[in-house]
Each structure stands twice: as C-alpha cells, then as structure tokens.
Amino acid sequence: MTDPVRIAVTGAAGQIGYALLFRIASGAMLGKDQPIELKLLEIPPAMDALRGVVMEVEDCAFPLVRNVVTTDQPEVAFEGADVAMLVGSRPRGPGMERKDLLEANGAIFTQQGKALNDHAAKHVKVLVVGNPANTNCLIAQNNAPDLDPANFTAMTKLDHNRAIAQLARQVGGVVEDIDGLAIWGNHSSTMFPDLIGATVKGKPALENVSQSWYEDEYIPSIQQRGAAIIAARGSSSAASAANAAVEHVREWIAGSDAVTSMGIRSSGQYGIEEGVIFSYPVTVSNGAYNVAENRELNDFARSKIETTEVELIKERDAVAHLL
Amino acid sequence: MTDPVRIAVTGAAGQIGYALLFRIASGAMLGKDQPIELKLLEIPPAMDALRGVVMEVEDCAFPLVRNVVTTDQPEVAFEGADVAMLVGSRPRGPGMERKDLLEANGAIFTQQGKALNDHAAKHVKVLVVGNPANTNCLIAQNNAPDLDPANFTAMTKLDHNRAIAQLARQVGGVVEDIDGLAIWGNHSSTMFPDLIGATVKGKPALENVSQSWYEDEYIPSIQQRGAAIIAARGSSSAASAANAAVEHVREWIAGSDAVTSMGIRSSGQYGIEEGVIFSYPVTVSNGAYNVAENRELNDFARSKIETTEVELIKERDAVAHLL
C-alpha cells in the first residue's frame, strides 16, 4: 500500500464534518486502496464532541484509516497536510450583518491561511466549505504567500449538483442526461447557474425548458435551496454539503472530463476581476483544474455574472485589511 | 444497467437514517453499478423532516438513485422491497422499563412484520437495527409466516466492528490483522465478544492479550461502548451504526469469506434455544449466511453465551403474545 494521504478537516465535530468524515474514511473520496490519516481541528468547546466522533470512526474499523489526530491548533492539524477541507466557520448569529460575519470569519481564515502556509505540504489542496466560502478562501489564500494560489478553492459543487438535479427533474430525465452545466461566481444567493452552455442528452438545455422557467423559477430555486432545506429539515444542509465536498476533492485529484464547478482564484478569465475567488466551469486533469474556454454567454448571463462579481468585489473590499 | 433494487428504510429521518441514506445512495452498499429505489418510512410527525432529507438526497445528484418514495404506511414502504432496513424504533424514555420498551416496539414490529409478509418481495433481506434489535427482529419474523425465517436478521455488526477495532488497538496492529472474531447473542450489554476463535496475524488472539484484560476491560468496554459514545458526543452512535448497517447488507448480498457476526434465527446451533434471534459467527456466500461450525468454546465462553441466551429467552417470553 502507498503512504497515507494526510487529510485535515476543520469543524470536524460539526454537522457537515460528521457527515463528511465517515465517507472519507470509507474510501469514498480517495478510493478503496488509499490509506489515510485524518487530522481533525475543532474549537476548544467542541473537543469532547470531537472525541466522540473519533470513537465512532474507530468503531467502524475502516481498514484505510491509519491514524486520527485531534487538535484545537491549526498548526497541528495542517502539519504535512496533503488535503485541507476547511469546513468550520462562524455561522451568522442573530442580528449579525454580512460585514460582521466576514469579520468574524476573517480572523479564523487569516490564522488558518498562515498555518497552511507554514505547515502544510507545498502541494496541499485546500477546499473551503465554511461560509462565506469564496471570501474565506480569498483570505486564507492571501495569508499563504508561499503556496501556489491555485491550491485554494471554494466549494460550489453543492450548487452544481442542485442545479443538475433540478434540471433533470424538470425535463423528466436522469442526472447523467445533463452535461456542461456550471455555476458562476459566489456561493451565495447571487450565484449564476448557467444553462446556456448546458445540454440535455446532447441537445441545448434551453431548448428543453422555457426562458421564463429558467429565470423565474429555476435560478431562484437553486439560489434559495439552502433556506428551503432549513425550512423542511429544521437544520441546514449537512449530508449533501459533505457529499459535494467529497466529490470536489475526488474530482480534483482523480480528474473529471465532464465540466464541473469550482471556486478558484480568477486570473481574469471571462473578464472577471483578477484575484477574487470565483466559481467557473472547469475540467480537471492530472490534479489540476482548467477553466473551460470559449463558453457562449449571452447578455442575460453576462449581467448575472456581473452581479455576482460585484458582490465578490464588495466582500473582498470589506476584508481588504486582512489580505 | 440492471433494474433498480428497492431498498426500504424505516426511521429514515432519524439520526441513523440520515447517516445511512447518503451512503446507500452513493453506492457504498450495493456497488457503483446498481441503481436503487429508496422507499422511506417515517412516523407522521417526522414527515416534514423526511421531506428535507429527500431534498438533500436529490441535491447530491446521485446517478444511482432512480426514485425516492416517502410514506408513513409500512405497506407502501415495503411494497416490492428487495432489502428492508428497519432502523426506526421507539427509544427508551425516562422511567421506561425494558418491558415497556419491548411492548412499545412490539406494536411497531408486529405491524411491520405483517406488512413485509404481505407486500415485500419473497426474497426480501431484512435487517433490524432499531433496538431491542434481536427481539424486534423476532417479532417481525414471527409476523411474516409466508417469508423464509432466514430472511430476517438483527444487527450486531457494530459490536463486531467495535470489537475488532479495540483488539487491534490493544495489540498495536491494524484491523486487517484480526480474523475470526465474532459476537454471540443479544445486541445488548450481555453480548459476548469471542476472542477464543479469533486470531491476530494468524496467531490466537488470546496469546496476544491477557485473560484479565479480556474479561475485565475488553468485554465491558465493548458492551458499554454505546453509553461511552453518548457521554462523549451528547448523542448516540449514528454514523458508526449506519456504517455497520451498510456493511451488514453489503456482505449479505456480496458475500464474505471472513467471519462476521449477524443476529439470525437460531436453528439450535451450538445448543442455543431454537427460534430466538441470536448473533453467531457467520460467513456469507451466494446471498446466504452460514453459521461457522465447530468453533472452539471453553467454559468461560459457554457461560457468557448462556447469559446472553437467557436474556433473549426472557425477552421472547415477554413478547410471547405477539409471536
């Protein structure tokens, strides 16, 4: 067997962390032949709960799990990490403005960015799940000057999967019928689910649905899906977010010929402000993602993409002192 | 692709159900090429939460999930079921005696047994996870006279995995070093984790550990592991129980050369009372489990096995009116 891959997970005792660890440990992310070491970070008040989670991981007798480290120190969690999944973040409390939220998370992701810079493997693949994911990722990336900016990504795979599932349902098909669909921009209510470049069984998606359904029902329902889950379940998406995180990392490492969506540092592709963490349509090969080129975009799409870009620039400016 | 396998899950919106569904749906139980239909049962007050869970399943865009049915009627959930995972049960409330618990669950599993009998596929594989699992299974099996009693099993795989993990830890090895270990009897604090027939790297397990550690530390720690998890996590084992359920069904269908543990209807093997649902060491081939024969048992083991058998007979007698 090969050496274990070291996987750091923050917020490991939270709801997403709990849904995530067992799928990673069972081999769903890196395959059935890849031993792993889990390096789990939590805040001090959650260390008891984390101990219980680790007992349960142990109780699964997963053959792939070679070691589990628990800590409340980012420097320990990220030591030698090959993969870092930054799930933990400060949730929005009552009366908290988005600005307060950005600020509270700014402190966390500044510290984690520095710790990644100083302790993780130079090839570390970082996925930020904790919200506001794109800007948290921006902060971490900017605080890790010795790491390749391409190592930092934010998760829009959950939005991507939601968009595929809802399109498949609308056209009465199955998810494999859908290709080329992508999420642009921020993992927030401004995200743009792009059907212009998507196909259903090889035919343009927009020939299968009406523009009014697309604009007035589909896009809002993807954008507001998180709130709908909370309303039904009484708690926020956990297992589906964990699943998206597993798929994001799996595809980043194993590759994906199909178009998927990742929040990555913009190099100005499609005219987007350079440096912000922006979700693009990407394909993945040899452990590297590549932004899909020459996607057709109409005025409607360009206007939606601009809206989400403007939001990301505002978020960036609000945390400029941390960059 | 083959036809979907119909998998019924009860208590689908509970903690174990939530941990279980996404692993099933991702292909962890029946493989990456087996489409599935999920048939999810909940009690009426949990139907909203179940709707939220199903939204999250949808949000994963799992290619294998062909259909999801939700219902509060066992007859609907079990219609045509190929696999039935009976996870939901009445938990023990404050001041509730074990007798009250058996009674409350008796009603549930009587109804579910009849519904399985009348609506499930004749080859249905039933796994009871909800506690008291062995006796709930006994009730369901006895209320399904048209189904082969061998179709009914109770889960002791979680105990089995715990026993493997803790032995591996004690000997400083990994879980693959352990072979032949088994859980006998009831999924309760009387269960007997059998190291007499177990090996570590091919050598008798009991040559690697002391009899006093085995009797005074190991057995109690396996028997009381559930309570230890609750103390640490603040809630009961969910992901590790779900993992064990996935493995139980996977091995039952795909086979297992290695010895595992399943609660099955005793035909009197090893002198156990016929008809009770008793956990035995088994191997599995061609979709059928076979009790391991001629296991060596010493007086200590026989005394432990008798204790757990006596408990199961008492449980059976307490629900005799339901059988």
DSSP A221-274: HHHTHHHHHHHHHSS---HHHHHHHHHHHHHHHH-EEEEEEEEEE-SSGGGPPT
Contact state of B240 with A60 under an 8 Å Cβ cutoff: yes
Q: Is A31 on the interface with B (CB under 8 A)?
A: no
Contact state of B22 with A21 under an 8 Å Cβ cutoff: no
In this structure, are residues B8 and B85 in contact, taking their beta carbons and an 8 Å threshold? Answer: yes
pLDDT of residue A260: 98
Which residues of chain B lie closer than 8 angstroms to A60, CB-CB? 161, 165, 239-240, 243-244
Give yes or no for residue A299 having a pLDDT over 90: yes
- Chain A residues 210-239 within an 8 A CB cutoff of chain B: 225, 228-229, 231-234, 237-239
pLDDT of residue A197: 92
Residue with more model confidence, A91 or A9? A9
pLDDT of residue B228: 92
**pLDDT tens digit string along B105-161?**
999 999 999 999 999 999 999 999 999 999 999 999 999 999 999 999 999 999 999
Contact state of A165 with B239 under an 8 Å Cβ cutoff: no
Q: Is A176 on the interface with B (CB under 8 A)?
A: yes
Cα three-residue angle A266-A271-A272, rounded to 5 degrees? 40
Distance from CA of A240 to the nearest CA of B (A): 5
pLDDT bin (cut points 50, 70, 90) of residue A101 is confident
Residue B160: active-site member: no
**pLDDT tens digit string along A112-155?**
999 999 999 999 999 999 999 999 999 999 999 999 999 999 99
Distance CA(B265)–CA(A76), nearest Å, equals 50
Q: Is B70 on the interface with A (CB under 8 A)?
A: no
Residues forming a β-bridge with A69: A39
Distance CA(A197)–CA(A300), nearest Å, equals 13
Residues forming a β-bridge with A183: A193
Q: How many CB atoms lie within 10 A of CB A247?
A: 23
**pLDDT tens digit string along A174-218?**
999 999 999 999 999 999 999 999 999 999 999 999 999 999 999
Distance from CA of A153 to the nearest CA of B (A): 20
Name the token pair of B319: 């629900």
Distance CA(A57)–CA(A67), nearest Å, equals 11
Which residue numbers of A are catalytic? 187
Mean pLDDT (whole number) for A24-39: 97
Q: Is A148 on the interface with B (CB under 8 A)?
A: no
Give yes or no for residue A1 having a pLDDT over 80: no
Contact state of A60 with B232 under an 8 Å Cβ cutoff: no
Average pLDDT of every residue of chain A: 95
**pLDDT tens digit string along B166-210?**
999 999 999 999 999 999 999 999 999 999 999 999 999 999 999
